Amino acid sequence: MPSKSLLQRLVKWCPWLLRDEPKRPVKVLVTGAAGQIGYAVVAMIARGLMLGADQPVVLHMLDLPRSRDALNGVRMELIDAALPLLRGVVATSDEAEAFDGVNVAILIGGSPRREGMERKDLIAKNVPIYKSQAAALQKHAAPNCKVLVVANPANTNALVLKEFAPAVPAKNISCLTRFDHNRALGQVAQKLNVHVGDVKNAIIWGNHSSTQLPDASHGTAWTERGERPVRELIADETWLREEFVRTVQQRGAAVIKARGQSSSLSAASATCDHMRDWILGTPKGTWVSMGVYSDGSYSVPDGLFYSFPVTCEKGEWSVVQGLQIDDFARSKMEASASELMEEKTIAYEFL
């Protein structure tokens, strides 16, 4: 046993002996990284907002050849930000290089909806991209890579990815409806005049589109009287079924109208929330919304990516079971499932 003074001297000369074993970097792919959401999200990931403040990352960034200069500019800025968690950056327009060995894939690359654009046009532009990236995912990503599709039409792009990457387990593919979930929490918090962190379990069913059902009927909020049902606190069923639902459903369009382009910082933030909770787990008693491959829960048809309330533990999501669905919710949930079935049919016309 070395003497105390010898130990003290050892630590003085070799201070790294006291450090914990460093974590191995996780390789995170962001497609469309030169775009507006991509630009916001890469900085958040490299600051630890997605995988944790002690998790080093290597960023793989993919964008089209025509965006090469812009993508290189993002790479330069990441270097200039001197981010200690960032252990490497790959900036490329080659899908094979981008997907090589990645553990997490955030798929944002695509053509966003512009004002006045029809859903069919959006599908036509985006599904061929997801067919091509499915092949790269299956061939080059690390086994068990977790995938989040952000690009619209997000649910249908996720479905195309699943169908054309049959070796990738369906449970590893998801699409972003956490954004709508966060918007729903924000609207309830504003209505109740409480902090958004005090509201939970306002959830999203269905498609990431204007047919989705934002549902606050199972939500709760902390008040001076403890944790109470949102329904009881708001005590206005008409607001919950009409104004709340409409505001959340139309929020994307409202931001496009106000900004002239679609939401980006809130989308990037929700992207981090989605992945963080999936990988690191949801807090006890908290549900989040994720677009996942339907297993028939709540009579949602199989074979669709549909937003459900889920909890996550040890990197696995499970749909929250046993919620009471009233006739109002049932009819909206079915309408959103029908829209997804139509999108699936249209998608196949372009594949």
Ligand X SMILES: NC(=O)c1ccc[n+]([C@@H]2O[C@H](COP(=O)([O-])OP(=O)(O)OC[C@H]3O[C@@H](n4cnc5c(N)ncnc54)[C@H](O)[C@@H]3O)[C@@H](O)[C@H]2O)c1
Nearer to ligand LMR, 11 or 253 (CB): 253
Q: How many CA atoms lie within 13 A of 127 on its CB side?
A: 22
Rounded Cα distance between 70 and 290, Å, is 31
Give the containing element (helix H, strand E) for 105: strand 104-107
Q: How far is the CB of 295 from ligand X (least distance, A)?
A: 21
Rounded Cα distance between 260 and 262, Å, is 7
Q: Show the binding pattern over residues 247-266: x = contacts ligand LMR (CB under 6 A), - = does not.
A: -----xx-x------xx---
SS3 category, 283: coil
SS3 category, 329: helix
Q: How far is the CB of 227 from ligand LMR (least distance, A)?
A: 29
Q: Show the binding pattern over residues 171-190: x = contacts ligand LMR (CB under 6 A), - = does not.
A: --------x-----------
Residue type, 102: V
Nearer to ligand X, 64 or 194 (CB): 64
Nearer to ligand X, 61 or 234 (CB): 61
DSSP letters, 228-268, are EEHHHHH--HHIIIIIHHHHHHTHHHHHHHHHSS---HHHH
**Residue corresponding to tokens 């005049």:** 193
Rounded Cα distance between 330 and 264, Å, is 31
- In the sheet with 226-229, reading across from the earlier edge strand, the strands are 199-200, 220-223, 226-229
Rounded Cα distance between 341 and 334, Å, is 10
Q: How far is the CB of 21 from ligand X (least distance, A)?
A: 36
Which of 29-37, 234-242, 274-282, 322-330 is the region at the interface with ligand X (rule: CB under 6 A)? 29-37
User: In DSSP terms, which residues pair with 31 in a beta bridge?
Assistant: 62, 107
Catalytic site residue from 60, 140, 195, 208: 208
Which of 47-55, 63-71, 182-190, 218-226 is the region at the interface with ligand X (rule: CB under 6 A)? 63-71
Residue 240 vs residues 22, 38, 92, 217, 254: alpha-carbon distances, Å: 48, 33, 46, 8, 19
Q: How far is the CB of 165 from ligand X (least distance, A)?
A: 15
Is there binding between residue 110 and ligand X (CB under 6 A)? yes
Q: How far is the CB of 252 from ligand LMR (least distance, A)?
A: 2
SS3 category, 91: strand
Q: Does the annotation count 218 as an active-site position? A: no
Nearer to ligand LMR, 9 or 246 (CB): 246
Quick one: which of 60, 75, 183, 208 contacts ligand X (CB under 6 A)?
208
Instruction: Say if strands 203-205 and 316-319 run parallel, antiparallel, or are unpaired.
Output: unpaired
Q: Show the binding pattern over residues 34-53: x = contacts ligand X (CB under 6 A), - = does not.
A: xxxxx---------------
Quick one: which of 31, 174, 212, 297 contacts ligand X (CB under 6 A)?
31
Look at residue 255 and give the partner it binds from ligand LMR, ligand X, none, a contact being a CB closer than 5 to 8 Å depending on partner kind: ligand LMR
Nearest to 48 by CA among 15, 81, 97, 20: 81
Q: Contacts with ligand X in 249-278 (CB under 6 A)?
A: 262-264, 267
Residues that bind ligand LMR (CB under 6 A): 113, 152, 179, 252-253, 255, 262-263
User: Which residues are at the interface with ligand X (CB under 6 A)?
Assistant: 31-32, 34-38, 62-64, 67, 108-110, 112-113, 129, 150-152, 154, 176, 179, 208, 262-264, 267
State the catalytic residues.
Answer: 208
